[in-house]
């Protein structure tokens, strides 16, 4: 069974800092990995999708890297803003060649002015 761990569990930073959110997963035989953002009481918003053949994917101030062999992905947030406050979830697929997104508990981020 795919197990997903995100570190840190929570993060509180002042506006303007560059951030690193870490994701590790146990089954590295994955097709892709997706990063999501979730605001309190809301659904998930897709941020980035990295294919297994890629090492990085960028969208605006967000950059996600994938090291499939070591079972790790990292989300970098540049110049953080209060509007970035949310829970960030990474989702590799499940085990055994599945492509069903599998989640850990996420990283809860607060960016204060």
Partner 1 sequence: DTGVSQDPRHKITKRGQNVTFRCDPISEHNRLYWYRQTLGQGPEFLTYFQNEAQLEKSRLLSDRFSAERPKGSFSTLEIQRTEQGDSAMYLCASSPTTRQGPNTEAFFGQGTRLTVV
Q: What residues make contact with partner 1 under the rule CB under 8 A?
A: 4, 31-32, 34, 36, 41-46, 49, 51-52, 89, 91, 94, 98-106
Please identify, using beta-carbon distances, which residue of 10 and 79 lies nearer to partner 1. Answer: 10
What is the Cα Rg of the chain in Å?
Answer: 13
Residue 99 CB, shortest distance to partner 1, in Å, is 5
Q: HSE on the CB side for 103, CA within 13 Å?
A: 11
The gap from C-alpha 7 to its chain's centroid, in whole angstroms, comes to: 10
Q: How far apart are CA 25 and CA 17, in angstroms?
A: 26
Residue 89 CB, shortest distance to partner 1, in Å, is 6
Residue 81 CB, shortest distance to partner 1, in Å, is 23
Please identify, using beta-carbon distances, which residue of 43 and 113 lies nearer to partner 1. Answer: 43
Identify the CA nearest to 13 among candidates 89, 105, 82.
82
């Amino acid at each position: 069974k795919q197990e997903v761990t995100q570190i840190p569990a929570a993060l509180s930073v002042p506006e303007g800092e560059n951030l690193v959110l870490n994701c590790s997963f146990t089954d590295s035989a994955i097709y892709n990995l997706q990063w999501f953002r979730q605001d309190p009481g809301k659904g998930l918003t897709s941020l980035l999708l990295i294919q297994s053949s890629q090492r990085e994917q960028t969208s605006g101030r967000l950059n996600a890297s994938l090291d499939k062999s070591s079972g790790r992905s990292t989300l970098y947030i540049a110049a953080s803003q209060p509007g970035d406050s949310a829970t960030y979830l990474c989702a590799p697929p499940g085990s055994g060649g599945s492509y069903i997104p599998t989640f850990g508990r996420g990283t809860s981020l607060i960016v204060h002015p």
